[in-house]
Structure 1
Amino acid sequence: MTAVSIFHLEMLCLEQFNPKLDAKDLTVIKAEKQQFEFNKFLYQFVGSAWQWTDKLSWTDEQWQAYSEADNLHLYVAYFQGSPAGYFELQQQAQGNVEIMYFGLGNRFIGQGMGGYLLSQAIENAWTLSGTQRVWVHTCSLDHPSALLNYQARGFKLFKTEIE
């Protein structure tokens, strides 16, 4: 079995943020009505290419508890009316906001949309009340440009783990 590297990154102030402003015709909308089935769909839509398996065995009750929690915020990116990707922001203790899941569907990868979508995630994370730190983790199973995109937007690596 091949070892997997897990990279933990953080942004400690808004001044670190280096946004990518070209939307590439993406429209990002907050899902105001929480529906666990939509989170589940997006998780599979984006994650199937990257071996996201941690939530595949969840029951509907587990999905609902996670997705419909007051501290979880879902944003969906649309391209020409179709879902293209998403991100989830989870407000945590002590002013931490984690980008829990982030990504584009396969058909939208490689079109320059990732930097803008990540910029939207960061911008929205910093607008949440009490945010002191935005953080995320990625791994060596993710898209080869994922880590570079996080770093280009201003995230700093603070821990690497090998599994």
Structure 2
Amino acid sequence: MTPRITPELTPTVEELEAEERRLVFRHFTHDDAWTLGSRLVELARERQAPVAIDIHRAGQQLFHAALPGSTPDNDAWITRKRRVVERYGCSSYLVGTRYRARGTTFEDSSRLDPDEYAAHGGAFPIHVEGAGVIGTVTVSGLPQLDDHHLVVEALEEFLDV
């Protein structure tokens, strides 16, 4: 399983923004969703991570997997995290980090229903050159920074960066 990240290794807003600028697709097809989702499943199985994995593009679910130990709650978290990416155009972890950097929380200051939106790590934008954010890849089941790192690791491999 992915090791738990210690607070001193928590990424800054600037580091998270740089990560997003680096992880941009040239295109994103149904086959790309399958390949990326399958790699996430492999990584999660290697770590015995009890996660659910979801990939959406333009409102359509292109990939979903629920590994042993995941629960229906993980699917609810996926939906809430995905809505944050769709609304803000950046990772759910970055959104939450921006609020924490201002000395508050997403739940206290966003004015959005926490039953509908969760600025917790694990949802990442699928950003295509020249098109912007066209979808999301989301993992739920681990501590939020570990969810985020799992998605980023798979994206880095897929994009070879």
Q: Same fold (TM over 0.5)?
A: no
Taking structure 1 as the reference length, the TM-score comes to 0.29
Greater fraction strand: 1
Indicate the structure whose relative CO is greater, using CA pairs within 8 Å and at least 6 residues apart. Answer: 1
Greater fraction helix: 2
Taking structure 2 as the reference length, the TM-score comes to 0.30
